[in-house]
Amino acid sequence: MKAETNWKDELKNAIRSTKELQAFLPQNIQPIEDVLSYKTLLPPFFLNHLLKYPQDSPLWRQFIPSGIEEDLVMQKEGFFDPIGDLVKVKVPQLIHRYPNRVLYFPTSSCPVACRYCFRKNELEEKPKNLFGKDKEKIIYYLNKNTNIEEIIFSGGDPFVLDNNKIESELLFFAQFPHVKYIRFHTRFPVILPQRLDKDLLHLLQQFRDKTNIQLIFSLHINHEDEITPLLKEKIKPFTISFPWISQTVLLKNVNDKACALKNLYAQITLMNIRPYYLHHPDKVKGAMHFYLSREEGRRIYKELRQISSGWMVPHYIIDDANAKGKELAAVPE
Ligand code: SF4
């Protein structure tokens, strides 16, 4: 059996350009198109997993750069900020869209560069009002808005921070008596399950037990082929200790079949993760090749409901560029 790699080494050794990627891939693979406007980031663990699948597979489409991202006509159809983050940012790193909760961006880094990412343009340009750091302003804002009871760590991926940093971020928000819940949005367990180590589990448990602040985890997962044996093994103690929910983006030519979604939800419920959100794709500049119409989305969702038990079906939601926030994209019939 191969020794388990360390997640920090994986990130250090990650492929970071289309040229490096081409050199890494076997010679029988069709050439990878150069993409200059958007970063390439693929850690070896996940890249080796991806190589088990063909070039036109859901995994390749989600993570391998494609020249179509820079297609000028497609670029015109998409938005830099498709859900209005920049309208709702109140102080740097804090987006306040709903009365009782805020999104917090502790980082703009991720363990991978998802080609469809709705924040791919913001993550490239890192606007200061989104990613600049000013804890004093956050303290002022949270003290003024005592109806905020949940902080959602997003970004970027919060698990890219090391354990000390995660602990200090958690303790920072524990100073506000009205904060009752902290939620992590993460893709790390799929890309580098090694991140879910004993030290991280221990620190999260201790924080929850000491503060009584509930911790919730939302796994971003789009297709059953993303589930590796290491993911199943590593996530188990975390799902025993904490509530986990899922978020999935509906993506053209990736998971736009009711049976693909059903298979994914059947697998994650076995892992003790509750199917929670199915996002209609956003109109993202550089990712319009993943977009599908609302009618198509509704048709797929309706079929999913017909072939699945109700408890296995997530909410199907849509975020508009009008920055109003999530709305149900289809009302259950
Ligand atoms: S991990 Fe999340 S934020 Fe990062 S590139 Fe992927 S979808 Fe975007």
Whichever domain contains 249, its CATH number is 3.20.20.70
Are residue 164 and residue 262 in the same domain, yes or no?
yes
Distance 19 CA to ligand 1 centre (A): 22
Q: Is 52 exposed, middle or buried (0-12, 13-18, 19+ CB in 10 A)?
A: exposed
Average pLDDT over residues 82-105: 93
Looking at the domain assignment, is residue 105 inside a domain? yes
Average pLDDT over residues 32-46: 94
Question: From the CB of 221, is ligand 1 less than 6 Å away?
Answer: no
Distance 103 CA to ligand 1 centre (A): 15
Are residue 127 and residue 178 in the same domain, yes or no?
yes
Question: From the CB of 215, is ligand 1 less than 6 Å away?
Answer: no
Are residue 21 and residue 108 in the same domain, yes or no?
no
Domain boundary among 71, 94, 118: 71
Q: Choose the residue to mutate in 119, 223, 319 for probing ligand 1, maximizing ligand atoms within 8 Å of C-beta.
A: 119
Confidence of residue 270 (pLDDT cuts 50, 70, 90): very high
Distance 154 CA to ligand 1 centre (A): 9
pLDDT at 330: 75
Q: Is 128 exposed, middle or buried (0-12, 13-18, 19+ CB in 10 A)?
A: exposed
Mean pLDDT (the chain, rounded): 95
Looking at the domain assignment, is residue 317 inside a domain? yes
Question: From the CB of 119, is ligand 1 less than 6 Å away?
Answer: yes
Are residue 320 and residue 177 in the same domain, yes or no?
yes
Has residue 333 got a pLDDT over 60? no
Task: Report whether 60 contacts 50 (CB < 8 A).
Answer: yes
Looking at the domain assignment, is residue 2 inside a domain? no
pLDDT at 323: 59
Confidence of residue 31 (pLDDT cuts 50, 70, 90): confident
Are residue 48 and residue 100 in the same domain, yes or no?
no
Which is it for the CA torsion 85, 193, 220, 179, positive or negative? negative
Average pLDDT over residues 62-68: 96
Domain boundary among 51, 71, 91: 71
CA distance 146 to 323: 22
Are residue 119 and residue 262 in the same domain, yes or no?
yes
Q: Which atom of ligand 1 is nearest to the CA of 156?
A: 3
pLDDT at 266: 97
What is the tens place of the pLDDT at every residue in 179-222? Answer: 999 999 999 999 999 999 999 999 999 999 999 999 999 999 99
Are residue 302 and residue 268 in the same domain, yes or no?
yes
Question: From the CB of 32, is ligand 1 less than 6 Å away?
Answer: no
Distance 306 CA to ligand 1 centre (A): 30
Are residue 163 and residue 139 in the same domain, yes or no?
yes
pLDDT at 313: 97
Looking at the domain assignment, is residue 333 inside a domain? no
Are residue 22 and residue 170 in the same domain, yes or no?
no
Tally of structural domains, the chain? 2
pTM of the model: 0.96
DSSP 8-state symbol, 30: P
Average pLDDT over residues 25-53: 93
List, in sequence order, every beta strand (DSSP E) within 57-172: 89-91, 94-98, 101-104, 150-153
Per the structure, the complete domain to which residue 289 belongs is given by 74-328
Distance 155 CA to ligand 1 centre (A): 8
Find the helix or strand (DSSP H, E) in which 274 lies: strand 274-279
Has residue 138 got a pLDDT over 90? yes
Has residue 32 got a pLDDT over 80? yes
Has residue 332 got a pLDDT over 60? no
Q: Which atom of ligand 1 is nearest to the CA of 113?
A: 5
Looking at the domain assignment, is residue 1 inside a domain? no
Average pLDDT over residues 117-133: 92
Distance 82 CA to ligand 1 centre (A): 14
Are residue 168 and residue 121 in the same domain, yes or no?
yes
What percentage of residues in the chain have a pLDDT greater than 70? 97
pLDDT at 87: 87
Higher pLDDT, 113 or 325: 113
Q: Choose the residue to mutate in 38, 83, 117 for probing ligand 1, maximizing ligand atoms within 8 Å of C-beta.
A: 117
Question: From the CB of 114, is ligand 1 less than 6 Å away?
Answer: yes
Average pLDDT over residues 218-229: 98
Looking at the domain assignment, is residue 301 inside a domain? yes
Looking at the domain assignment, is residue 298 inside a domain? yes
What is the tens place of the pLDDT at every residue in 275-319? Answer: 999 999 999 999 999 999 999 999 999 999 999 999 999 999 998
Are residue 60 and residue 119 in the same domain, yes or no?
no
pLDDT at 62: 98
Find the helix or strand (DSSP H, E) in which 210 lies: helix 198-211
Are residue 62 and residue 83 in the same domain, yes or no?
no
β-pairing, 181-186 with 214-220?
parallel
CA 25 centroid distance within chain: 25
pLDDT at 236: 98
CA distance 47 to 97: 36
Q: Is 74 exposed, middle or buried (0-12, 13-18, 19+ CB in 10 A)?
A: middle
Find the helix or strand (DSSP H, E) in which 245 lies: strand 244-249
Domain boundary among 27, 44, 71: 71
